[in-house]
Amino acid sequence: MSLASAWSVALFGVDGVLVEIEADIGAGLPGLQLVGLPDAALSEARDRIRAAVLNSGESWPARRMTLALSPATLPKAGSGYDLALACALLAADRTMPAARLSGTALIGELALDGRLRPVRGVLPAVLAARRAGMRRVVVPTAALAEAALVDGVAVYGANRLCEVLAWFRDPCAELARPGPGRAASRTSVPDLADVLGQADARWAVEVAAAGGHHLLLTGPPGTGKTMLAQRMVGLLPALSPHEALEVTAIHSVAGLLAPDSPLLDMPPFVAPHHSSSVAALVGGGSGLARPGAVSRAHRGVLLLDEVAEFGPRSLDALRTPLEDGEVRLARRDGVVRYPARCQVVLAANPCPCAPPDDRDCVCAPGARRRYLGRLSGPLLDRVDLRVPMRPVITMDCGESDPEPTAAVRQRVVRAREAARARWDGCGWSTNAEVPGPALRTRFRLARAVTAPIESALHSGRLTARGADRCLRLAWTVADLAGREHPVAEDVAVALGLKDRSAAA
């Protein structure tokens, strides 16, 4: 009897767990048994690795073989274990040195002819291997640029199983190493100067971008709601190295990375269709859930255009992500967590018929109420800014030189830097992340400053959650004005942005 082990990584969302793959070859009828809670794709690995080993010029052991994936109680899914399974089996057969497998994580799917195919989630898998103390990681060459984004671990790429086996057998053999890294190709973002008029809405977009707030734009079609939302992502600062790895890891699990330039260092923009299901918005799928649109937009902008056309169940599923900044999905094979700290922009027409001039509406009053009534009160209470937009009635809006994105972005970046410096010691980076209790106690404002919020609370026009969000907005308005603390005027502006009726 002979025994050997190799290492791979199991993914649960963007969290990875190191998996030990033990191979045992002993007496008995020839056959291969795979244990350790494999799913269907992993169970089929026995046929893939047998063909890959034989087509790589290696001999297949004609004895009883057992491959065990530990921890045994952890569900294993996918084909990314193929390379580790094959190497562990050949090491147990003593056709390659088992000692060299120590400290090396192996990730990749095997084709029948021995080629190595890339799999989803290479970046979070390499991050998990580094945390577990692995010194080396071998991945398919097609995923080498993605794996190389992780510092502190040696990354190697291979095209075929025979190359990996030769590297283990011969210390002088070499595998591919990462080349000079480069960021993802940056797509051009439309300029804010393209939007005709709508000074109030542009100011609201600037406030939302500066503080990381959620935004609702309502108005007739053609007023610029979608244009403003598309240009909002251009106002956001570039992602920090830590944030870029977070965003890239999510897109890696979703299988959306470009192979030659995988790093995403700019905030993402995601705009799902209004027919999207709950699973498409927040994540889902059989076994372990995949990330949805709200997670793919992490650290960026999620636009829900024609939001009143979305299903009520889909919209209400966004309540927790908007509040907590993450999605927790329980499925048959376990619970996965995906970050979802994005800025949500809701754009809606005032009624189903949506004429250019609201005076031409033919909808019954009940139909108008039901249309926007699809946006539940608890969902709207989590939206910081609500901005009605009016039709553009002239092509000359009095702006000879509309302010471009670059000029507005400078103010947004300065406001974000001020907020980061203020909250950095507390673990928050934007005003929208600050919990209400901290604003009401540790960073409490004078009673004279918060009097408008107190009045709105007393009259029932504002909830306690809404009051906290008004305080966050007030801090953002103050940051844009260059003030260290909000004044009464900032609170009044914030209250008007939160709800025009409450500010009345």
Predicted confidence (pLDDT) at residue 225 exceeds the cutoff of 70: yes
Domain of 97? Answer: 2-169
Q: Which DSSP string do the residues of 459-501 spell out, in sequence order?
A: HTSS-HHHHHHHHHHHHHHHHHHT-SS--HHHHHHHHHHH-HH
**237 and 328 belong to one structural domain:** yes
Q: Is residue 498 part of a domain?
A: yes
For residues 273-281, average pLDDT: 93
Q: What is the CATH number of the domain that holds 101?
A: 3.30.230.10
**133 and 200 belong to one structural domain:** no
**459 and 380 belong to one structural domain:** no
Predicted confidence (pLDDT) at residue 501 exceeds the cutoff of 60: no
Give the list of residues 6+ apart from residue 285 with CB closer than 8 angstroms, or none.
279, 331
**Total structural domains in the chain?**
3
**203 and 333 belong to one structural domain:** yes
pLDDT of residue 332: 72
Distance CA 91, CA 97 (A): 6
Q: What is the 3-state secondary structure (H, E, C) of 16-39?
A: EEEEEEEEEEECCCCEEEEECCEC
**348 and 238 belong to one structural domain:** yes
**152 and 287 belong to one structural domain:** no
**391 and 504 belong to one structural domain:** no
Predicted confidence (pLDDT) at residue 7 exceeds the cutoff of 90: yes
For residues 205-214, average pLDDT: 96
pLDDT of residue 291: 93
For residues 278-297, average pLDDT: 87
CB of 343 closer than 8 Å to CB of 209: yes
pLDDT of residue 182: 55
Phi, psi of 113 (to 5 degrees): -95, 10
Q: Is residue 157 part of a domain?
A: yes
For residues 44-56, average pLDDT: 95
> Which residue would you say has higher pLDDT here, 324 or 187?
324
pLDDT above 70 covers a percentage of the chain that reads: 95
Q: Is residue 416 part of a domain?
A: no
Predicted confidence (pLDDT) at residue 419 exceeds the cutoff of 60: yes
Q: Which of 145-154, 227-236, 372-381 has the lowest mean pLDDT?
A: 372-381
Structural domain ending residue among the three candidates 405, 424, 454: 405
Q: Is residue 244 part of a domain?
A: yes
Structural domain ending residue among the three candidates 135, 169, 203: 169
Return mean pLDDT, the chain.
Answer: 90
Predicted confidence (pLDDT) at residue 274 exceeds the cutoff of 90: yes
Q: What is the CATH number of the domain that holds 256?
A: 3.40.50.300
Predicted confidence (pLDDT) at residue 137 exceeds the cutoff of 80: yes
Structural domain ending residue among the three candidates 367, 389, 405: 405
Q: Is residue 252 part of a domain?
A: yes
Distance CA 98, CA 91 (A): 5
**362 and 257 belong to one structural domain:** yes
**223 and 123 belong to one structural domain:** no
Predicted confidence (pLDDT) at residue 287 exceeds the cutoff of 70: no
**342 and 442 belong to one structural domain:** no
* Listed residue (144, 126, 146, 145) closest to 136, CA to CA: 126
Predicted confidence (pLDDT) at residue 99 exceeds the cutoff of 60: yes
**351 and 482 belong to one structural domain:** no
Q: Is residue 181 part of a domain?
A: no
Contacts by 497-500, CB closer than 8 A, 24 or more apart: 497/204, 497/207, 497/384, 497/385, 497/386, 497/387, 497/473, 498/384, 498/385, 498/386, 498/462, 498/466, 498/469, 498/470, 498/473, 499/386, 499/456, 499/461, 499/462, 499/466, 500/386, 500/388
Most confident option among 23-32, 46-55, 328-337, 346-355: 46-55
**228 and 154 belong to one structural domain:** no
Q: Is residue 175 part of a domain?
A: no
How confident is residue 85, by pLDDT bands cut at 50, 70 and 90? very high
Q: Is residue 185 part of a domain?
A: no
CB of 250 closer than 8 Å to CB of 262: no
How confident is residue 503, by pLDDT bands cut at 50, 70 and 90? very low
Distance CA 337, CA 478 (A): 34
450-491 pLDDT, tens digit per residue, is 999 999 888 888 899 999 999 999 999 999 999 999 999 999
